[in-house]
Structure 1
Amino acid sequence: MTFFSLEDKIRQAGGNPARMLREDPTEPYLFPFREQFSNWRDEQTAWATTATLFDQSFHMQDIYFTGPDVKRLFSESAVNNFATFGRNRAKQLVAVNPDGDIIGDGIVFGFEDDRYVLVGTPPASDWLAFRAQSGDYDVEVEADPATPFNPNPRKKFRYQLQGPRSLDIIRKAAGDAIDHIKFFQMGEFQIAGVPIRALNHTMMGVPGQEHTGLEMTGPVAESQRVLDALVHAGEEFGMRMGGSLAYATVAQASGWFPMPVPAVYLGDELRAYRQHLPAASFEGRASIGGSLESDDIRDYYLTPWDLGYGHLIHFEHEFVGRDGLLARKDEPHKTKVFLRWNDQDAGDAITSSLFDAPNGAKFMEMPSAAYAMAHYDQVRVSGTQIGVANWPVYITNFGGWVPTGLIDDQYAKEGTEVEVLWGNESAIGVKPRVEAHKTRGIRATVHTAPPLKKH
């Protein structure tokens, strides 16, 4: 059978990758675990009041990189500084194309000094794997895809416990044998006799400002023993198990902008990569939704500064995209914010979608209103676009609907009033989750930190 690449698919679509992805019917990724253990509202509330435990063992792509050149590979492929990286370290890796636009991000774990694993959505790990295999690197690449795409059992379990009582629960499960773990570093301890590696990072709230949870990983054969111990320890503290519906909202809870369009669709320098990627790859089916309707794929590209990653850029080493970023560092960039939707406008939109079809607003699934893989809504002031927002989610701890926004810096002030254009009429009859509707404006208030509601 002839290999059909991403490059072939773009050519077949008339050479327009933006139109190709806007017309792609691929739906949002369905997390392959139970939707609710109690109900998504209580599961959300628990991460602000006690703790919520998510089983992350199934839905992310893990790629293992092992060999003497692993540090050089990562250093030359990402904006980050890897000079002191090694065993029990972790980073939010950011990879860009030669022009400095984001290809993808993910968390890289240093299991050993010469063995890293990159975890997250596929774009970053696909890019690193391609460079490892096509470049002059003595690195072995081993893929452990997400469960829906993997005929084999996963190599590791991964449990994420978040909330103000998380450390109390983990200490009880581990018999108090836990040393302090610095932010975005890893520690080692045992639960139920099983060796655990744990990363200190925050999925809810402001990353780095508080120690509210750990991401724990270990051998998959021992996953049930560890889970049972955590559930038992959590009973005293009112811990909740989190299902996939609540999990679909954690990105916006921490201000992470999930699923930016990977900037791989243009340019001769990336042609070999597009010829390497299958047409059915993530990159080939990264469907775009939202009210930002453009035929220029560059309108969906983002920089590290736009996504709040500017502090991760280390110009004092050579890496793909360094020159492109240097040329653009003094340009205006977007600022990442939380956009709290107006309750009346959100309620009117939901009501009209149910009782005024086909002239009502686009229907909003709860708690996450995603209907494509990547989502870009227009954010406007006085009818002029000032940025974009990803799909809105309802979060009990915010008391309303909130997407993450990327807007012009002059408007990124606490309390600024903006408008989000909600709808995607060109996707009617194209994307399965888009019904007949009319696009409408939703008033929103800018917040520079999570707009937490008091419980």
Structure 2
Amino acid sequence: MVRSVQDIVDDNPDLVNYFKYQTGGYASASLIDILRPFIPAEFTNWREEQRAWHEAAVMFDQSHHMSVTYIKGPDAKAMLNYLSPSTFSNLSTDRGKQYFVANPDGKHIGDCVLHYYGDDEGFELISGNPLQSWVRYHCQTGEYNVEARHDPSSPLGKGHRRTKYRFQLEGPNARQILDDVCVGGMPELQFFRTAFVTIAGCRVHILRHGMAGHTGAEISGPWDEMDTVRDAILKAGEKLGLRRGGTWAYYSATLENGWIPTPFPAIYTSDAMKAYREWLPAASLEGQMHVAGSYYGEQIEDYYWDAWSLGYDKFVKFDHDFIGRAALEKMKPQPHRVKRLLVWNEDDVMKVMASQFGDGPIYKAIDMPLAFYGLPQADDVRSTDGRHVGVSQWCGYTVNEHRMMSLCGIDEASAAPGTEVVITWGERNGGAPNRQTERHEQTTIRATVALTPADALSQGRVRATL
């Protein structure tokens, strides 16, 4: 009998302890390792690959790590609209959508990018395994006339041939490269608008994207045309400094674009979610998450996120009925945590790094460019007078900012840029009994609250750290 996530819940009254100390869970190193057969950690070196998206251009290969679910049918639009606070009032075939789902209590389950290709072809849900699991559950168990086809990531697919390739082109020279490689040039597109273009004789779908204020694009098309399109882009980019980006650079890019990957999905409690947990295999991502870091919640709900803490509140629209609507309406006027960047104090970072040498206590090592060692990371953030004010998650370094940074959800009262806070770094009891973490001592790292670089640009600021 296949074990389910509900079996995990039934067997472990202390879910915090289970997800903190289970072995084999995901961490930063395992993300890189499971993709090595498909995408190298570095094509050249991660520092220059990071520089490329600020100084020239970088192309990331997203063809292998993101699962995709394709949905079509007479009820597809109604079902997807009911599952999400995102509005479908502006749904069209020429724009992408930031799509996310919440549980009946209004807590976040997952998010993805959604494309709509018309009633005949239907919808494409890209990335976000917890969201895709929730959507497929409703396809299979709800009274909807829909067809769903799951295209798992290459590591999970076990030899399965992917449907589409997917690349991301980013940097100040990305627009010129796209102009040169697209027949007739790159069309003028607003952010998150889409179009079809022709590259090297192939029909290519492009999503106007970008993480540093440049005209970047996500590029996709049939799997069999991947090599043709990739080679054409690389050739066009030779004279413009285009580099290929490996997984180290790719996963560190989110520190600058401000997206918080893989928040802990709010599925493990509530009787209303029990049937879903019974459907969801224990071998899923949701059953294998490893919560690392210094934050220890009293209950598993303490690790849940909501739309405000992830910066998705602007996408919540009460123009339709959806799961979690009543809860989100009650939450709207209340104080919230909001998404911010934490810029780590350089002296405290150097203290941790220096502890790896000589005598004295050894603190939890800070790896570069990705410092998180769980999926998700959850580090305690406190005010300078000792109050718990937030949780730091995705942490690491980019050479463009010259700093260690982390993305976090933080109380509004402590969220003003320039506010000083303190991160606790490392595990209780020196990491024991966590066999995936080396022995160490806890310490603290001072940090300054800032806007993410993407939010800073949108507000006319030059750098997030100013």
Fold in common (TM above 0.5): yes
For residues 198 and 88 of structure 2, the distance between their equivalents in structure 1, rounded to whole angstroms, comes to 28
CA deviations over 1:209-268 (Å, ceiling 9, x no partner)? x34300000011110111111111111111111001111111221111111110000111
Q: Does 1:121 align with 2:119?
A: no
The aligned amino acid for 1:89 is R
Contact 2:256-2:452 at 8 Å conserved across structures: no
Which of 62, 70, 74 aligns to 1:64? It is: 70
Match of residue 133 from structure 1: 140
Letter aligned with residue 316 of structure 1: D
For each residue in 1:142-200, what CA deviation from the matched residue of structure 2 results, as whole angstroms up to 9, or x when unmatched? 01001011131111000000111111111111244322122112111011111100111
Query: Aligned letter for 1:241?
Result: R
Alpha-carbon separation, structure 2, partners of 1:356 and 1:79: 54
Q: Report the Cα distance in structure 2 between the residues aligned to 1:426 and 1:157, rounded to whole angstroms.
A: 45
Give the equivalent residue in structure 1 for 2:15: 17
Contact 1:87/1:113 (<8 A) preserved: no
1:272 aligns with 2:275: yes
Question: Residue 236 of structure 2 aligns with which residue?
Answer: 233
Residue 128 of structure 1 aligns to a residue whose secondary structure is: helix
The 5-angstrom pairing of residues 99-178 of structure 1 reads 99-114=105-120, 115-150=122-157, 151-178=159-186
Rate the CA distance shift 1:356–1:147 in 2: closer, same or farther, 3 A.
farther
Question: 3-state SS of the aligned residue for 2:394?
Answer: coil
Deviation at 1:354, TM superposition (A): 4.5
* Cα pair 2:452 2:464 within 8 Å, conserved: no
Structure 1 Cα separation of the partners of residues 117 and 173 of structure 2: 27
RMSD over aligned CA atoms reads 1.7
CA distance in 1, matches of 2:132, 2:415: 32
| CA distance, structure 2, for counterparts of residue 211 and residue 44 of structure 1 | 15
Q: Does 1:43 align with 2:49?
A: yes
CA distance in 2, matches of 1:142, 1:3: 21
> After TM superposition, which residue ranges in structure 1, 4 or more long, deviate above 6 angstroms?
none
Task: Write the mapping of 1:34-433 to structure 2, written as runs, cut at 5 A.
Answer: 34-114=40-120, 115-150=122-157, 151-202=159-210, 204-205=211-212, 210-356=213-359, 359-381=361-383, 382-425=385-428, 428-433=431-436
Q: TM-score, normalised by structure 2?
A: 0.92
Q: Which runs of 5+ in 2 are unaligned?
A: 457-462
Equivalent in the alignment of 2:459: none
So what's the TM-score if we normalise by structure 1? 0.94
Contact 2:343–2:403 (Cα < 8 Å) also in 1: yes
- Contact 2:268–2:277 (CA<8 Å) still a contact in 1? yes
The letter for the 1-side match of 2:338 is T
Moved more, 144-153 or 409-418: 409-418
- Alpha-carbon contact 1:249-1:393 (below 8 Å) kept: yes
Identity of aligned residues (%): 35
| Separation in 2, partners of 1:340, 1:372 | 20
Deviation at 1:343, TM superposition (A): 1.1
DSSP-derived class of the 2:366 partner: coil
CA distance in 2, matches of 1:212, 1:387: 33
Matched residue of 1:391: which SS?
strand
Distance change (3 Å), C-alpha of 1:355 and 1:71: farther
User: Given that residues 450 and 464 in structure 2 are in contact (C-alpha distance below 8 angstroms), is that contact kept between their aligned partners in structure 1?
Assistant: no
Deviations 1:355-398 (A, max 9, x none): 457x3110122100121111111111122111111132110111
Letter in 2 for 1:70: A
Letter in 2 for 1:167: R
Deviation at 1:404, TM superposition (A): 0.6
Tell me the matched-pair count: 446
